[in-house]
Amino acid sequence: MVPLKPLTVRFIDNTEVELISHGTNGKKISIIPLSQRSRDKRKVSRQSCAGDALELSPVQEEAEEENKDVIFKPTELLEEREGMVKNPIAFGFNTPKKRWSMLEKAGSARKTPTASPSTPTTPRLPHLLPGTPRTPASPSTPKTPRSASRTPKSKRRLSGASEAPTPYSFRKRVQERITKIVLDEDSSSSSSEEDDDDDSSSYSDSDSEEDESKENLFNSRDVSVVTPSKTPRRTPSKVAKTVLGTPGRTPSRTPGKRGRQKKIKDVEMVAKGDDYFMANGNSKAPTSDHTLNRLETPRLSPEALQSILSSMANTHLKEREALIEENVLNFPRWMTYLCEGFSIFLYGLGSKKQLLSKFQQEYLSDYDHIVINGFFPSLTLKNILNNIIEDILEHTGGLHGGQDQLDLIEATYTRPDTAPLFIIIHNLDGAMLRGEKTQAAIARLASLPRVHVLASLDHINAPLILDSHKMSQYNIVWFDATTLERYQEETSYENSLLVQQSGSLALSSLIHVFKSLTPNAKGIFMLLAKHQLEQKDNSSYTGLSFSDMYQRCRESFLVNSDLTLRAQLTEFRDHKLLRSRKGHDGVENLIIPLPPATLQDFVTQQELENE
């Protein structure tokens, strides 16, 4: 054996000994003596001081910062405080939905204080619905086949009650619990005790019932509840009755309900990244195949919609007024900030048009101002600039395009003696203002010292149009102007699936133009219209080619030369009755830009007149 050399230990510094003995900061001490390390560091800092040409006290260089530094956390910025809007609910993953969850949810609304508790359905649904956790539907869960003979109503209620597939783990837990109950209790005295049990447990009673029904569980006393799913044709009222029939269930329900909901909510708050993939991985959307055609009036006409809505009073009138009032109190502050060179951005749910108009009337009548409806579907930047130049500045003169106009406006509104201009923009995030160029131009306008911008934002992704440069040009001050008003005007330009896309406007204009045409021209147009109607079921129809058209027109003695046809077509085109497109083969295809229904109306009307 080679004798080992005795270890020699030498202490470098008192302080280090202390450190080692304390054992707290030991790992941070390296072999280099403290003094040396510090000397290196000091060298750097001294250099930085020397490099400073200013007579300021030494400012440390950023470059010096090392990774191991304590990170300066944005506590103030990210802090949540009472009374302020909370962030986390806006973002995050949600678990995928079951097929009927929406109806269940709707059912859950039934437990409102306004609804009378004696309504047979009320006690049933609330227990059933909020308790069901939103977890992925396991594909293996057998779904009861829906029969077409059922009335929609019963289907709705029933499906809400019985068809919701429940995840396996949940089922298992419930099953276990029930097994336990069965083992512990006598089946005769079960119901009231189970209630007590429920109050302390986190699962809703009705859920367990439902699961029992699903799993065909062994407890015989639950037969009455099991029935609904076993006999799907039963009407919902009967279901409700059977539920009610269970003794001692409803009265003791309320105290336990609250605690249960809270617990379930806690479960929901755990957002897992996997859920996103669960939701998106399943390519088949579990939605029903119902269409709106099941309704008697599948689509309302826009006029009807508007008239109904305007005749209908909105709820919470007083509260809405109070909200607006609150904002009106802020008007002087808005003005102050505008005067100091800030732009005011309003956000929050509800149309802010009324509010802004009020501001406009009360404060801006003495100043030049323009109002821009950002939601207007054919708004262009040129419109805005033209309005400023022609109507406000009253400048007439040839200007080359937007850049020159902007330059002129910039030159005018940087002069301190110019009258200030206020720009009110309803929906800065409107479809036509979202473009990068438009935004850049508006931001440039907003940065001018004599131009003041007041804008509202509604889209959830509206902040995406702002980058840091634009933000600083706008110089934004935000105000929460939630009004909860209807977006009636803003949405009136929207193409909703639910609104009948009537071509009434197009049809009337078509008729007007058509009346002024020569018989031959009418013939040409009718020919094209009829051809298009014949082809209306052909989805790949691109239009009638010019040569075909010419051939047909010649055959019906409508034109005698290529040129006359072209002249006629030009007239149609000018009135926007016709659109021509180059096809794949380079042939010019002619098409009437109207929906088939409108065209059909038109053709039948014309034929009637001719007869």
Burial of 588 (0-12, 13-18, 19+ CB in 10 A): middle
- Residue of 260, 266, 248, 316 lying closest to 108 (CA atoms): 260
Q: How far apart are CA 138 and CA 581, in angstroms?
A: 50
Nearest CA to 306 out of 113, 182, 491 is that of 491
Nearer to other proteins, 400 or 584 (CB): 400
Q: Does residue 200 belong to the site contacting other proteins (CB under 8 A)?
A: no
User: What is the rounded distance in angstroms from the CA atom of residue 494 to the CA atom of residue 499?
Assistant: 9
Q: Interaction with other proteins in 431-490: which residues (CB under 8 A)?
A: 432, 440, 444, 457-463, 468-469, 471-473, 475-480, 482, 484, 486-490
Minimum CB separation from other proteins for residue 378, in Å? 7
Residue 89 interacts with other proteins (CB under 8 A): yes or no:
yes
250 vs 261, beta carbon nearer other proteins: 261
Query: CA-CA distances (angstroms) from residue 315 to 107, 251, 274, 489?
Result: 21, 32, 40, 18
Residue 228 in the binding site for other proteins (CB under 8 A): no
* Binding-site member from 144, 169, 254, 288 for other proteins (CB under 8 A): 288
H or E segment and range at residue 567: helix 562-574
Q: Is 540 in the site for other proteins (CB under 8 A)?
A: no
Tell me if 296 contacts other proteins by CB under 8 A. yes
Q: Contact between 54 and other proteins (CB under 8 A)?
A: yes
Q: Which residues contact 437 (CB under 8 A, 6 or more apart)?
A: 381
* Positions 157 through 186 that interact with other proteins (CB under 8 A): none
Q: Is 513 in the site for other proteins (CB under 8 A)?
A: no
> Between residues 261 and 606, which has the closer beta carbon with respect to other proteins?
261
Residue 450 in tokens:
């004599």
Residue 50: CB partners within 8 Å, gap ≥ 6? none
Q: Which is nearer to other proteins, 58 or 248 (CB)?
A: 58
Tokens matching residue 35: 């003094």
Q: Which residue of 290, 512, 566, 579 would you call a contact of other proteins, by CB under 8 A?
A: 290
Region of residue 609 (phi > 0: left; psi between -120 and 50: alpha; otherwise: beta): alpha
Asked if 118 is part of the footprint of other proteins (rule: CB under 8 A), the reply reads no
Window 542 to 571, contacts with other proteins (CB under 8 A): none
Which of 64, 534, 574, 607 forms a contact with other proteins (CB under 8 A)?
A: 64
**Residue 243 binds other proteins, judged by CB under 8 A:** no
The conformation of residue 499, written as its DSSP 8-state character, comes to B
- For other proteins, which is the closer residue by CB, 440 or 511? 440
Q: Interface with other proteins includes 595 (CB under 8 A)?
A: no
H or E segment to which residue 591 belongs: strand 588-591
**Residues in contact with other proteins, total (CB under 8 A)?**
194
Window contacting other proteins (CB under 8 A); options: 189-197, 245-253, 259-267, 595-603: 259-267
Which member of 148, 312, 563, 608 binds other proteins (CB under 8 A)? 312
**From 179-187, 195-203, 264-272, 550-558, span contacting other proteins (CB under 8 A):** 264-272
DSSP reduced 3-state for 479? strand
Q: Which of 70, 148, 183, 608 is close enough to bind other proteins by CB under 8 A?
A: 70
Sequence-separated contacts (24+) of 104-113 with Cβ below 8 Å: 104/128, 104/129, 104/132, 104/160, 104/164, 105/129, 107/157, 107/160
- Asked if 207 interacts with other proteins (CB under 8 A), we say no
